[in-house]
């Protein structure tokens, strides 16, 4: 067992709240759209709480827990209710179900935060373990590599991603070397330790592109913003997609949506 224990007995069902994540809200609109499209394909009814902003992770990781708790309290208010909360990012989901309870340990409103944590799902985990989908329809003829984002450690999401991608017709997932190594993002770490972060990113890109894949995929736009930004800076032509975009495009390719 690792650091991140996915909470047990989370609520499931087809009426869900979507936590877009601040990165998709600001930079990666298509990832959020793909998330909606695949969830709706599966019959989900999606509520998008309007007041949502960020999960609080940047300040949590930076050690500014006062600021982080302020944001988490806001998030808890915005995501009131009983429905499962679906997050298309391993690290934002882990922030809610693991990080938030940690920084609220000594706070009076810990139960509120624990309740929020207890209904939060990373998207792929939800599709496989919440909705019971183990085969993904459609077709996606490509050779891809997948970055195992660190916040998937110990959660069910890593296996869920493998299950879904592995079942798509035409899709080959190529294994990569040193899959356990971090890409070097780590939130504010990437700017406070720029040299180490850059070295880590360089190694990760090397491994991810060694087999000359058509697509490099991940299920966390934090990692993608960092190593993708590096790839962009180096004008690397390899396509980068969130796993949700691949699932959506697989449906599109087969005319299913």
Partner 1 sequence: MKTLQQIDRVARDLDPEVHEANFMGAKLKSERRYAALERDYPDSDKLREVAGQIKQHTLEHLDHYLEQVEAAFQRNGVQVHFASDEEATNATVLRIMNESGAHSMVKSKSMVTEEIYLLDYLEKNGKDVVETDLGEFILQIDGDHPSHIVTPIVHKNRRGIAKSFEREGLGDYNDDPATITRRARKYLRQKYLDADVGLTGANFVSAESGRIVLVTNEGNARFCMAANRIHIAVVGIEKLVPTDRDLGLFLNLIGRSGTGQQLTVYNQFVGGPRAASQPHGPEAMHVVFVDNRRTEVLASDCREILRCIRCGACLNVCPIYRQSGGHAYRSVYPGPVGAVLSPLLAGNRFPELADLPKASSLCGACNEVCPVNIPIPDLLLRLRDKAKREGASAAMKGTPNLVLWATLCSQPAMWKTALSMGHSMNYIPTEMIPHPSAKAWQAARKLPKFQGGEFRKWFKQRNR
Residues 137-156 that bind partner 1 (CB under 8 A): 150-151, 153-154
Supply the minimum distance, in Å, between the C-beta of residue 218 and partner 1. Answer: 14
Q: Give exposure, 92-119, as e/b (b: 16+ Cβ within 10 Å).
A: bbbbbbbbbbebbeeeeeeebbeebbbb
Tell which residue, 141, 148, 132, 131, has the closest CA to residue 207: 148
- The 3-state secondary structure of 113-180, one letter per residue: HHHHHCCEEEHHHHHHHHCCCCCCCCEEEEEEEECCCHHHCCCCHHHHHHHHHHCCEEEEECCCCCCC
Considering only 7, 11, 25, 257, the residue that binds partner 1 (CB under 8 A) is 25
Min dist CB 140 to partner 1, Å, is 23
Decide if 133 contacts 164 (C-beta within 8 A). yes
Under the criterion CB under 8 A, does residue 11 sit at the interface with partner 1? no
Residues 237 to 256 in contact with partner 1, rule: CB under 8 A: none
Exactly one of 11, 41, 42, 62 binds partner 1 (CB under 8 A); which one? 62
Is 113 a binding residue for partner 1 by CB under 8 A? The answer is no
Query: Using the rule CB under 8 A, is 101 a contact of partner 1?
Result: no
Q: Which of 78, 173, 236, 257 binds partner 1 (CB under 8 A)?
A: 78
d(CA 147, CA 224): 9
126 closest CA partner among 205, 39, 206, 197? 39
Smallest CA-to-CA distance from 124 within 8, 213, 245, 26 is with 245
Q: Which stretch binds partner 1 (CB under 8 A): 8-16, 123-131, 176-184, 244-252?
A: 176-184
Min CB(22)–partner 1 separation in Å: 8
21 in Cβ contact with 49 (< 8 Å): no
Find the shortest distance in angstroms from Cβ 57 to partner 1.
Answer: 10
193 binds partner 1 (CB under 8 A): yes
Residues of span 194-223 touching partner 1 by CB under 8 A: 194-201, 203
Q: Determine contact, residues 171/141, Cβ cutoff 8 Å.
A: yes
Stretch that binds partner 1, among 113-121, 124-132, 163-171, 226-234 (CB under 8 A): 226-234
Does the footprint of partner 1 cover residue 59 (CB under 8 A)?
A: yes
Which of 84, 99 has the CB closer to partner 1?
99
Q: Does 32 bind partner 1 (CB under 8 A)?
A: yes
CB of 196 to partner 1, least distance (A): 5
Give yes or no for residue 43 binding partner 1 (CB under 8 A): no
Phi, psi of 141 (to 5 degrees): -75, 95
């Amino acid at each position: 067992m690792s650091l991140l224990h996915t909470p047990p007995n989370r609520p499931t069902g087809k009426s869900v709240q979507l936590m877009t994540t601040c990165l998709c809200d600001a930079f990666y609109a298509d990832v959020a759209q793909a998330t909606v499209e695949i969830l709706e394909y599966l019959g989900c009814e999606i509520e998008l709480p309007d007041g949502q902003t960020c999960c609080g992770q940047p300040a949590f990781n930076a050690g500014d827990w006062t600021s982080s708790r302020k944001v988490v309290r806001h998030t808890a208010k915005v995501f009131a209710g009983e429905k499962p909360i679906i997050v298309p990012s391993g690290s934002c989901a882990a922030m809610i179900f693991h990080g938030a309870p940690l920084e609220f340990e000594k706070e009076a409103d810990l139960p509120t935060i624990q309740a929020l944590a207890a209904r939060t799902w990373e998207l792929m985990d939800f599709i496989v373990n919440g909705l019971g989908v183990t085969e993904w329809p459609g077709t996606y003829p490509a050779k891809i590599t997948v970055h195992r984002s660190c916040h998937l450690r110990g959660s069910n999401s890593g296996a869920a991603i493998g299950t879904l991608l592995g079942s798509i017709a035409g899709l080959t997932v190529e294994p990569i070397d040193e899959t356990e190594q971090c890409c070097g993002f780590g939130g504010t770490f990437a700017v406070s330790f720029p040299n180490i972060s850059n070295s880590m990113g360089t190694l990760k890109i090397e491994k991810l592109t060694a087999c000359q894949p058509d697509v490099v995929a991940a299920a966390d736009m934090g990692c993608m913003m960092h190593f993708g930004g590096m790839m962009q800076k180096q004008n690397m032509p390899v396509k980068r997609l969130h796993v949700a975009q691949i699932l959506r495009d697989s449906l599109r390719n087969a005319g299913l949506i």
